[in-house]
Structure 1
Amino acid sequence: MQETKIRAAALGTLLAAEAMNVLDATITQVAGPAIHAELGGAASDIQWFGAAYTLPFAMLLITGGRLGDLLGRRRVFLAGVAVFALASLGCALAPDTGVLIGARAVQGLASALVIPQTIGLIKAMYTGPALSAALGWNGPVVGLSAVSGPLLGALLTDLVSWRAAFLVNVPISLAILAARRLLPEDRAANPVRLDVPGTLLASLGVGLLVYPLIDRWDWTLFTGGAAVLVVFGFHQRRRRNPLVEPSLFGHRGFPSALVTSTLFFAVMNGVMLVVVLHQQLDEGLGVLASGLTLLPWSGGLAVSSWLAGQWLVPRYGPRVAFAGLTLLLAGILLAMAGPPPLALGIGGLGLGLFTVPFFTTALSVVRPHETGSAAGLLNAVQQLGTTLGIAVLGTVFLRGHSLIQALVPAAALVLATMVTTALMRPAKTTAKATV
């Protein structure tokens, strides 16, 4: 009985760390204009408040997982939480946008150390049916945290200050560190060596592609970024222990899944940002009011995720994803006339209907020994998609201050997502088996 309580407390500690890190990926979306109003700086800094976090988070996720394999997952997890606490304090005390953006980047780096360790530590504590039950908490906690970030940011900013949205991480982190003795140490039996050159090449290439989308359109940077990523591809093919498992790209469906994930999360997070910017900068709503505007979006996602997982996907299989994308497109088109609750509610329902079948279909095309690399890569492009959505849709809005102009590319991205989803080849199983 005592051991069961200790494991439950340890699981709660891991989930709290995961929720804290995922929350911070979106917590500045509502508070961004308020931060900019106090600290000043360029209008594009509003986008960097989010992108500076999600970009290093995306690029270092796989490397963070490898560090846990090599050095021990408990050790890397605790180091990540400690760095995250210090970076959060730096955000809360930032005197200008430059310091804030730099501290946000360190937060993203720390998250890349924390998040990959949670699944491994849960597996080290549980086996059999208990493991399935423990892992079952992971999805709801991550999903709820991701969509709750803007609302929490709005509440803290309105009731206290935007600085409180970062400062609240410090006591939570200290509580997690205080519970460190509850966590087991765990590491891979045959860890794969770090691919430091690959990590640097991938980070540089993606950074060169994303930077001009936010600050200034520069074909030289785009070309340089593409060239670096080509070098990265050749490097991966020649390396004995690559950062990304090359055999994954031998499946026709998996590259399509990566593109699909990037496009979908670009829409999901980009739309949230431009709706909030429209509410605050054009409609004159306060931080809390604009945050509450997103409730139908988040609520629709929560309801439809449950319906999809419990009833729709077991009965209709991957086809539910297309129904979700259709509803998402309908919500975006309705929102072009203004973001009423109905439009955002319909779009939110579409989000949940898509996400549940997507991940099972994406992973069904890979072999068992590729699953870890595939899951890490899917998580990485999810964060990359968030960065691109913030960059592209946010830039379109800030240049014209038109919600319609920003939602037109969002609608186009949904149509592209429909195409790439159709190119994913699910495993030849029954619909119920894909759940």
Structure 2
Amino acid sequence: MKNMRWIGLIALLVAEAMNLLDATIVQVAAPVIHTDLGGRTADLQWFSAAYTLPFAALLITGGRLGDRFGRRRCFQLGVAVFVLTSTACALASTSSLLIGFRAVQGASAALVIPETIGLIKTSFTGRELSKALGTIGPVMGLAGISGPLLGGVITEATSWRAVFLVNVPLGLAVLALSHLLPESAAPQRIDLVGTLLLTGGTALIVYPILQSQSWYLLVPGAVLLGLCFLRKDLIEVSLFAHRGFAPALITSALFFAVMSGVTLVVVLHQQLTLHHTVMRSSLVLLPWSAASGIASLVAGQWLVARFGSRLMYVGLGVLLAGLALAPYVLLPSLALGGVGVGLFTTSFFTEALHRVEPHQTGSAAGLLNAVQQFGGTLGVAVFGTVFLRHPVAIDRSTWVAVAVIVVTAATAHLMRRLPERGRAEPVPASTGR
């Protein structure tokens, strides 16, 4: 029985990794997809944004659905739809169809990812729970390293369509193992109005940035997102009693906007400006991913315990140095930036969650993940637009990233300058896109 629980954990970890792999693989393959299917230049950004936008907007609702109707049941439904839409993406004949299938795929992922921590907590207790939660970081790090390289290998060796088909055997394996997971549920109201507000607000903000038009939509988008915080069945309002939590959300959005934006710009620069192959483009991202994974492991095992939240500033400083060097020496700067990413993310999530009460940790982790995905979507929109307007000058995108990281340091400072309350055991949040 004990071994069955750990095998069930494998299914959850593969599902988490599948989500991160899908994002990074598609980023590498995006220029090849656009060349094959044609369409607008903005489609290069939509191949990623169409996935992350519904994923971000529906993450909180996905968690609530699992609480109400059963976490294992929702997890299985989400994985099944993810497999079907991955197959549909592989068969898409136009950019518009692919973007539509990507949106459904992102919505299905929003039903999968929020259930993983709940299912882990149901399956394990005590020291075993800590060990189980501790496996998420290394698996995500490995997926982050493997994604760009795997995308390059598959696209160059076969076709970009095979990039989506990777999800099919992985998803089927997850479904086969998922029956080992225990079912669990908790009474929760589903806020349909809040979900519509969140989805609509996110779309109204991202769309004009991607299209470089209809800027008037930003105002109603911001209003709709603001109204979400008045919906008690959508947002755990008590989280904001801790005055450092709101800055943590802003910090998460800004930081992951840079992460997603920078990786997209590097891939586009390699393929569209320098005309490098997909394989070579994917190898360029390897120092970034590898350094991030190693630094995250070191920070989690030793550095956070010794230096605490001060490690956030060290990480941002190292990342800043890497970004500033990027226009001049790309590979060393990406490795340096990756170290900064690993140092920051581990210390950031620890600091963001340590003031949260035990009964709030699930909602806090879910909200941080949702904001992270929203930031990633904005990053793809903003940095992709800046680069596509000036595809020869990668330094323009780089200096925008530097400016955003400086602001991120300021918001991170607001997280830790306030008096601390009792510490709660942190719950890992994903550090993928």
TM-score (norm 2): 0.94
Question: In 1, are the aligned partners of 2:318 and 2:339 still within 8 Å (CA)?
Answer: yes
Contact kept? 1:365, 1:427, Cα under 8 Å = no
| Structure 1 residue 367 corresponds to structure 2 residue 357 | yes
CA contact (8 A) 1:25 1:146 kept: no
1:286 corresponds to which residue? 277
- Write out aligned runs for 1:54-93 (5 A): 54-93=52-91
CA gap 1:375/1:430 in 2 versus in 1, 3 angstroms: closer
Q: Does 1:344 align with 2:296?
A: no
Correspondence for 1:218: 214
Deviations 1:257-294 (A, max 9, x none): 00000011111111111011111111111001010001
Deviation at 1:224, TM superposition (A): 2.1
State yes or no: 1:270 paired with 2:253: no
Q: Cα distance 1:434–1:122, how it changes in 2: closer, same or farther (>3 A)?
A: closer
Deviates more, 1:153-162 or 1:282-291: 153-162
Q: How far does the alpha carbon of each residue in 1:114-141 deviate from its partner, in whole angstroms, 9 at most, with x for none?
A: 1111111122221111111111111221
Kindly indicate whether the alpha-carbon contact (under 8 Å) linking 2:228 and 2:235 is maintained by their aligned counterparts in 1: no
Q: CA RMSD in A?
A: 1.8
Aligned to 2:380: 390
Find the residue that maps to 2:82 and give its secondary structure.
helix
In the superposition, relative to structure 1, how do residues 215 and 365 fare at CA in structure 2: closer, same or farther (>3 Å)? same
Q: How far apart in 1 are the matches of 2:385 and 2:327?
A: 17
- State the one-letter code of the partner of 1:357: S
Runs of 4+ residues over 4 Å off in structure 1: none
Alignment of 1:166-315 (within 5 A): 166-188=164-186, 191-234=187-230, 236=231, 241-315=232-306
Distance 2:227 2:16 in 1: 33
Residue 334 of structure 1 corresponds to: 325
Q: For residues 174-227 of structure 1, what are the alpha-carbon distances to aligned partners after superposition, in whole Å with 9 as ceiling and x for unaligned?
A: 222222322221112xx2200110010111011100111111232221122123
Distance 1:368 1:202 in 2: 26
Aligned-residue offset at 1:251: 2.2
Question: Does the residue aligned with 1:424 lie in a helix, a strand or coil?
Answer: helix
Match of 2:156 among 155, 158, 168: 158
Comparing 150-159 and 376-385, the one that deviates more: 150-159
Which amino acid letter does the alignment assign opposite residue 346 of structure 2?
A: V
Aligned residues: 424
**Percent of aligned pairs with the same amino acid:** 57
Match for 1:11 among 9, 12, 19? Answer: 9
Q: Does 1:53 align with 2:51?
A: yes
**Deviation at 1:172?**
1.6
Which residue, out of 391, 399, 402, partners 1:411? Answer: 402
Amino acid at match of 2:383: L
Q: 1:210, 1:422 → 2: CA distance?
A: 27
Q: Give the counterpart of 2:132 among 120, 131, 134.
A: 134
Counterpart-to-counterpart distance in 1, 2:8 and 2:370: 26
How much has 1:108 moved relative to structure 2?
A: 0.6
Aligned partners of 2:355 and 2:420 also within 8 Å: no
Gaps of 5+ in 2: 428-433
Query: Any conservation in 1 of the 2:209–2:215 contact (CA below 8 Å)?
Result: no
**CA shift for structure 1 position 101:** 0.5
Alpha-carbon distance in 2 for matches of 1:40, 1:34: 10
Matched, 1:423 2:414: yes
Are the aligned partners of 1:361 and 1:427 in contact in 2 as well (CA < 8 Å)? no
Whether the 8 Å contact between 1:30 and 1:150 is mirrored in structure 2 is yes
Asked if structure 1 preserves the Cα contact closer than 8 Å seen for 2:229 and 2:237, the reply is no
Distance change in 2, residues 1:66/1:430 (3 Å): closer
Which residue matches 2:430? none
User: What residue number does 1:106 align with?
Assistant: 104
**Distance of 2:356 and 2:38 partners within structure 1:** 48
The match for 1:97 is 95
C-alpha contact (below 8 Å) 1:64/1:113 kept by paired residues = yes
CA contact (8 A) 2:212 2:385 kept: no
Q: TM-score, normalised by structure 1?
A: 0.94
2:26 is aligned to 28
Counterpart secondary structure, 1:179 = helix
Q: Secondary structure at the match of 1:281?
A: helix
Task: Give runs of aligned pairs for residues 371-382 of structure 1, distance below 5 A.
Answer: 371-382=361-372
Deviation at 1:362, TM superposition (A): 0.5
Q: 1:168 offset after TM fit, Å?
A: 1.4
**Counterpart residue identity of residue 391, structure 1:** A
Q: Is the 8 A contact 1:257 1:420 kept in 2?
A: yes
User: Letter of the aligned partner of 2:297 in structure 1?
Assistant: W
Task: Report the Cα distance in structure 2 between the residues aligned to 1:14 and 1:230, rounded to whole angstroms.
Answer: 33
**CA–CA distance in structure 2, aligned partners of residues 233 and 185 of structure 1:** 30
User: CA 1:8–1:372 in structure 2 vs 1: closer, same or farther (change >3 Å)?
Assistant: closer
